[in-house]
Amino acid sequence: MNDKEKQTLIGDALLKKAIGYDTSEIIEEFSENDGQVVLVKKKVTKKSVPPDMTALKMLLEGENRADVTTMTEEELKAERNRLLKELANDLKTDNKADEKAEQGNFEEVDEAEDGTEEKD
């Protein structure tokens, strides 16, 4: 099984879990009668598995994520730099909030999409 097939199987399983599905559980009891194994009892239970919100969230986030397997070297470097910049901004925001908390100023600091700070 190649990587593409594995990804397809995983994607299908995640989709199934995200939208929910119906399944049957079969329980069979056997007994030995005159040296032969005989089916004594068979119980079929139908179950409905509800949608899983975590799987749905993963599925939706995955659609927004770029497929790195098809990216060129330049695109990979650009994506790496973008992620490092985003991480640095998150760390900066966390450090500023920590400093304000240490000073007794518990005002919440949020970072806007353009990198500026917003105060609540």
Mean pLDDT per 10-residue segment, the chain (120 residues): 84 90 94 92 94 87 66 84 84 74 58 49
Strand segments, DSSP code E, in the chain are 21-33, 36-49, 109-111, 117-119
| Secondary structure of 23-47 as H, E, C letters | EEEEEEEEEEECCEEEEEEEEEEEE
Rg (CA), the chain: 26
